[in-house]
Amino acid sequence: MAVKVAHAMGAKVTVLSQTVKKKEDGLRLGADHYYATNDPETFKKLAGSFDLIVNTVSAKIDLNAYLSLLAVDGTLVNVRAPAEPLSVHVLSLIGQRRSFAGSMIGGIRETQEMLDFCAEHSITRLTGN
């Protein structure tokens, strides 16, 4: 849903996933680009590319590697929580004024705004529109 909503908001959307298994789905849902993070070249190629990364998985990831993908003043937002603590090297943040944030589901007002947005843009399910 994050891909569909971001696409509907006019964002240039890139899906990062561990392998290419979900590439077709990501592109069908509105992603402009798709990269596999198990390919070490991905992190080199995309370094400093993103203003925002929304991490929607609860698996433990190398936060510092993902932070390196952010542009100056970029933000990585976690919306799921892994079972294990995540480690951040402070230099991954301060050198480029990057931020690491978290967000949970909003309240009634925010949920209604999202439902209204989805209705306006015919976002009704994970497949197709």
Which residue bears the tokens 């925010």? 110
Give the chain's domain count: 1
Report the C-alpha gap between 3 and 95 in whole angstroms. Answer: 29
In a domain, 91, yes or no: yes
Percent of the chain beyond pLDDT 70?
97
Residue 32: give its domain's CATH number: 3.40.50.720
Q: Is residue 12 part of a domain?
A: yes
The boundaries of the domain holding residue 13 are 2-120
Q: What is the pLDDT of residue 1?
A: 85
Q: Are 46 and 67 in contact (CB under 8 A)?
A: no
* Beta partners for residue 15, in sequence order: 34
Residue 99 lies in a domain: yes
Q: Which one-letter amino acid corresponds to residue 59?
A: A
pLDDT at 128 over 60: no
pLDDT, one tens digit per residue, over 52-82 is 999 988 888 899 999 999 999 999 999 988 8
Would residue 126 count as lying in a domain? no
Which phi and psi angles does 120 have, rounded to 5°?
A: -60, -35
CA–CA dist 15, 31 (Å, integer): 6
pTM: 0.86
